[in-house]
Amino acid sequence: MEPTIVRYLLLAAVLFCIGLFGVLWKRNIIIVLVSIELMLNAVNINLVAFSRLGLAPNINGQVFALFAMVIAACEVAVGLAVLIALYRNRNTSDVKDMNLNKW
Amino acid sequence: MALPVFTGQMIAFILISLLVIGSAVAMLFARKVIYMALLIGGVFIGVAGIYILLDADFVGFAQVLIYAGAITILMLFAIMLTNHGSQEQTPVNTHSVMAGLAAGGLLALLYWGFNSVDWTNWQQISPKDPVPPWGDSSVKAVGDAVYNVYAIPFELVSVVLIVALVGAIILARKGEE
């Protein structure tokens, strides 16, 4: 019989893989950003689960989850600003058209 | 393997997991972009429920405020400013098959990893003492940790947030020409 932490880890793994699939598959930049958020949330679930059910439970996992949330907010702000600038200049939100810096 | 005991926590976990995974899958296969941005709210609120199940009240409420509140609304603004009403049609081709293989392969690898871990040490502490190590107020414990142990990382992360917001404004601003 496995301990309870395994179900949280499995949930996070499924969520991470759904996010990975969305990042690789979708072509709309907003949806790619949303999928990255899914992956970050999966990591946060792992952090909080280990902070409660790990071998040495303590509060640090929750603090790291909060820091990850702040970085996620930064990422969304910058990503959406890039999206708005791109849409203004090229009138598209498809990642396939984002080849300005292609070498 | 013994039959699982359906405690209240287990039932809550199953329901919240169904909400989270169902919303995430529906998000991937929704027709319109705006529906996707609304469905992601379900995922975020479900994850907040998971945090509360894990006795992390503060992180749960921060999740609701930051993700379900701010980030979802920001996504909705971005969609409305760009191509609202557009139908997202993603073709099924070799690219999508490769993406599915990558994601499924990673999931299989992780599942194999979970099954090959020796959980005996976890087994002994697994029937948890009902009181979490930070007592019954995770808000107080998080505040204590953030302002004592993690004071410098906290300041650095606020600098990062300010820099990101200023950069976002500069990026999204109209050019001079």
Give CA–CA dist A12/B39, Å, rounded.
Answer: 18
Q: Tokens standing for A6?
A: 């395994």
CA B91 vs CA A25, B40, B61: distances in Å: 9, 22, 38
Hey, how many other C-beta atoms are within 10 angstroms of the C-beta on B157? 19
| Structural domain includes residue A21 | yes
Check which CATH number belongs to the domain holding A51 and give it. 1.10.287.3510
| Structural domain includes residue A45 | yes
Q: Please give the model's pTM, rounded to 2 decimal places.
A: 0.89
pLDDT at position A88: 85
Residue with tokens 């503060």: B58
Give CA–CA dist A40/A65, Å, rounded.
Answer: 9
The verdict on B96 touching A (C-beta cutoff 8 Å) is yes
Give CA–CA dist B169/B17, Å, rounded.
Answer: 37
Q: What is the pLDDT of residues B111-158, one digit of tens each?
A: 999 888 887 777 666 555 667 777 778 888 899 899 999 999 999 999
Q: Tokens standing for B101?
A: 């293989």
Q: How many structural domains does chain A have? A: 1
**Cβ distance B84 to B28 under 8 Å?**
no
Average pLDDT in chain B = 85
Residue of A11, A24, A67 with shortest CB distance to B102:
A24
The pLDDT of residue A40 is above 60: yes
Average pLDDT for residues B81-97, to the nearest whole number? Answer: 75
In sign, the C-alpha dihedral spanning A35, A37, A40, A41 is negative
pLDDT at position B22: 94
**Cβ distance B166 to A78 under 8 Å?**
no
| Predicted ipTM of the assembly | 0.89
Top pLDDT among B92 and B67 is at B67
**Cβ distance A12 to B125 under 8 Å?**
no
Q: Which domain holds residue A48?
A: 3-91
Residue of A2, A60, A70 with shortest CB distance to B161:
A70
Kind and range of the H or E run holding B115: helix B94-116
| Structural domain includes residue A39 | yes
Give CA–CA dist B29/B26, Å, rounded.
Answer: 5
| Start-to-end Cα distance in chain A | 53
The class (CATH top level) of B8-82 is: mainly alpha
pLDDT at position A55: 79
Q: Which residues of A touch B114 (CB under 8 A)?
A: 2, 6, 9-10, 13
Top pLDDT among B108 and B138 is at B108
pLDDT at position A6: 87
| Structural domain includes residue A37 | yes
List, as ranges, residues 49-78 from A with C-beta within 8 Å of B: 49, 51-53, 55, 57-60, 62-63, 65-67, 69-78
Q: How many CA within 13 A on the CB side of residue B103?
A: 20
